[in-house]
Amino acid sequence: MRAFQVLPDAQPAAIRTVDTPEPKEGEVRLEIGACGLNFADLLMIKGEYQDTPEPPFTLGMEVAGTIEACGPGVDKALLGRRVAVFGGQGGLADYGCFPADRCVTLPDAMPFTDAAAFQVAYGTSHVALDHKARLQPGETLLVLGAAGGVGLTAVEIGKQMGATVIACARGADKLAVAEKAGADHLIDAKTEDIRERCKALGGLDVVYDPVGGDQFKSAFRACNPEARILAIGFASGEVPQIPANHLLVKNISVLGLYWGGYLKFRPQVISDSLATLFGWYADGKLKPHVSHTLPLEQTLDGLELLRTRKSTGKVVITP
C-alpha cells in the first residue's frame, strides 16, 4: 500500500510503498476514505510536535474510513462500519490500524471528507469553549485566526453556545468565510487595531487564540475583568510571555488546551464532547468547511497550503 511517511536522517517526507499493516490486539484496520491535515502535521515533520513518533512513521492524525479487518479481542460485528478516528498518526495511507475504542460511528449522511475534517478542529474548539472556558450565552468571544482549521469551528461553536462572536483574520476573503460561519463582528488583522476594535465593542470575556504573538498581546489588553484566554497554539511562531501582574489586576485566567492530551488522562471529556458535536452535525447545526480536497499524491501541496495560510477551514486528503 501507499503511505506518506516522515523519514529518518532529515530525508524529505514522501510517499513510500509499504506492507499493509495487520491489526493488533484491540485494533481495527480501516480502508481510509479521507484524512484531515492539521498544523501539527507540519510540526511533526520538523520533529517539533509534543507527540512526534520516532521516524519512519506515517503522517496523518485524523481519518475516516470503513472497518475492513478486526484484531484479536475486537467484535467482528464492526466489520463494514463507517467510522472516524483520531489516531495521532497513520492516516495518510491506503489502510491504517487504529484502536477500536477510539472509533466513532459516523452519521449515515456524513461523507468521509466531512468526517476527516471534524474531530480535531471541532473537538478542540468545543472542549476549549465548553469544558475549559465555560463560555456563557451573551458573553463576547474573540476568535483569532478565525478562518483557519480550528478558528472557524470556534466561530460556529461560539454562536451555537449563544455568544457574541468577533472574528479576526487576515484579509477580506478570510473574513467573509468567518462571517458565513456566524461571526457577528469582523476585524482585519492586516489593517485594523485589534485592541481598539475589541474595546469599542465592549471588551472581551473569552479569547480563543491559536495564533499567539502580537495578536495575543492585543487581545490580552482588551480583556474584561475575569476574562478567560484560551491558548490553543502559536501559528505566528511566537509563544507569548504573559505578565502575571496583569493577570492579577484584572483577575484574568489563561487556560492551555491540548485536545489530544485528554485521551491519556481523561478520555471521557473527549467522548462526551464528540457525542455532542456529532449530534449537532446530524441536526444540521454544524457545517464543516473544507477548502481543498486533494489526492494522496498531492499531500505536500496540501501541507504547503497550511504552511502559507492559503487555505480556509480544513484541507483533506483522499487516498
> What CATH number does the domain containing 130 carry?
3.40.50.720
In sequence order, what are the residues at sequence separation of 6 or more whose Cβ sits closer than 8 angstroms to the Cβ of residue 217? 240
- Is there a single domain that holds both residue 55 and residue 151? no
- Torsion sign (Cα): 210, 215, 216, 222: negative
pLDDT < 70 regions, the chain: none
Which residues make Cβ contacts (< 8 Å) with residue 294, sequence separation at least 6?
Answer: 301, 302, 315, 316, 317, 318
Is 313 part of a structural domain of the chain? yes
Which of 236, 258, 280 lies at the terminal end of a domain, its last residue? 258
Grid coordinates representing 257? 488546551
At 146 the pLDDT is: 97
- Asked if 143 and 154 touch (Cβ cutoff 8 Å), the reply is yes
Q: Does some domain include residue 170?
A: yes
| pLDDT at residue 235 in the model | 87
pLDDT of residue 263: 87
* 170 and 90, same domain (yes or no): no
Residue 2 per-residue DSSP state: E
Buried b (16+ CB within 10 A) or exposed e, 111-140: ebbbbbbbbbbbbbbbbbbbbbbebeeebb
Same domain, 189 and 93: no
pLDDT at position 310 is 92
What is the number of structural domains in the chain?
2
Say whether 255 sits in a helix, a strand or coil: strand
Tell me whether residue 266 is in a domain. no
Residue 246 belongs to a domain? yes
Full residue range of the structural domain in which residue 146 is found? 122-258
